[in-house]
């Protein structure tokens, strides 16, 4: 790539491992060899505050990929965690620059997750833990890229129409009483829905409805 040139939309960067992987809120994302770690350059026609839409689209692409491979009940923990059997299988991070959006995807495939520490009491799990054998990383990556391409093209035409219903159907927080950490406070309430932009809709103890575009669910079932 020429110096100062900008990557085209759809440019994908894949790493076998990462030494400085990042998760939400600047957290360290451990990325040992044996997992899938990729970033996709996008130039969506959306407002910068609606990065939740890109997270939603990517979550459903990962969901379709892993559900098809494992046949198991994959869930999405709002806003960006991929869950199976109550454990974290992967995560997504969408970030906006001046010129484009970078969406990063990390999935535990054959990597040892026993030492991975996840905030808020969650534990990690890998595809090999679920299946009992090593999985084909290249095959999974190819399927994931294909699924993402399909759903992102749909998103560019119809936005989140239909896609959001699939996200809602696999939400791990729907109907639960939650504690959500925001940048400047913590909120508690019952998750009553996922909104049309991928926002979490909760009702607090006073019956007030709040719509959250960003935040971290730090406790469920409280």
Domains assigned to the chain: 12-169 (3.30.930.10), 177-220 (2.30.30.100)
User: What three-state secondary structure class fits 14?
Assistant: strand
pTM score > 0.75 for this model? yes
DSSP string for residues in 8-24 = PTT-EEEES-BSS-B-G
pLDDT of res. 2 = 46
pLDDT of residue 29 exceeding 60: no
Closest CA to 40 of 148, 170, 121: 148
Express each pLDDT in 150-185 by its tens digit: 999 999 999 999 999 999 999 999 999 999 998 888
Listed range (2-6, 56-60, 70-74, 84-88) with the worst mean pLDDT: 2-6
In this structure, are residues 127 and 69 in contact, taking their beta carbons and an 8 Å threshold? yes
pLDDT, position 208: 97
Rounded-to-integer distance, Cα 96 and Cα 123, Å: 29
pLDDT of residue 28: 53
Q: Give the count of beta carbons closer than 10 Å to the beta carbon of residue 85.
A: 13
pLDDT of 84-111, one tens digit each? 988 999 999 999 988 899 999 999 999 9
DSSP codes of every residue in 53-69 = HHHHHHHHHHHHHHHHH
Structure-token pair, residue 203: 């009702």
- pLDDT at residue 116, as a whole number: 76
Q: CB neighbours (10 Å) of residue 29?
A: 16
Closest C-alpha to 195, from 45, 52, 80: 52
**Tokens of residue 47, six digits:** 């407002």
Average pLDDT, the chain: 89
Least confident among 25-29, 37-41, 59-63, 153-157: 25-29
**What's the rounded Cα separation, in Å, for the pair 157 and 139?**
28
């Amino acid at each position: 790539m020429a110096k100062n040139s900008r990557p085209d939309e759809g440019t994908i960067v894949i790493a076998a491992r990462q030494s400085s992987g990042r998760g939400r809120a600047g957290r360290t994302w451990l990325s040992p060899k044996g997992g899938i770690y990729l970033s996709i350059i996008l130039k969506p026609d959306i407002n910068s505050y609606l990065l939740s839409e890109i997270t939603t689209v990517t979550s459903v692409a990962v969901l379709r990929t892993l559900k098809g491979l494992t046949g198991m009940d994959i869930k999405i923990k709002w806003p960006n965690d991929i869950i199976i059997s109550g454990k974290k299988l992967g995560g997504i991070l969408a970030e906006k620059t001046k010129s484009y959006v970078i969406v990063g995807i990390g999935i535990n495939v054959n990597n040892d997750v026993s030492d991975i520490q996840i905030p808020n009491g969650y534990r990690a799990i890998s595809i090999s833990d679920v299946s009992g054998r090593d999985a084909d990383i290249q095959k999974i990556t190819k399927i994931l890229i294909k699924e993402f391409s399909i759903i992102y093209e749909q998103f560019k035409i119809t936005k989140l129409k239909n896609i959001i219903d699939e996200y809602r159907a696999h939400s791990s927080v729907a109907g639960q009483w939650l504690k959500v950490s925001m940048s400047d406070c913590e909120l508690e309430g019952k998750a009553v829905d996922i909104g049309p932009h991928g926002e979490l809709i909760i009702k607090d103890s006073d019956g007030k409805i709040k719509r959250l575009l960003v935040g971290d669910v730090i406790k469920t079932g409280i």
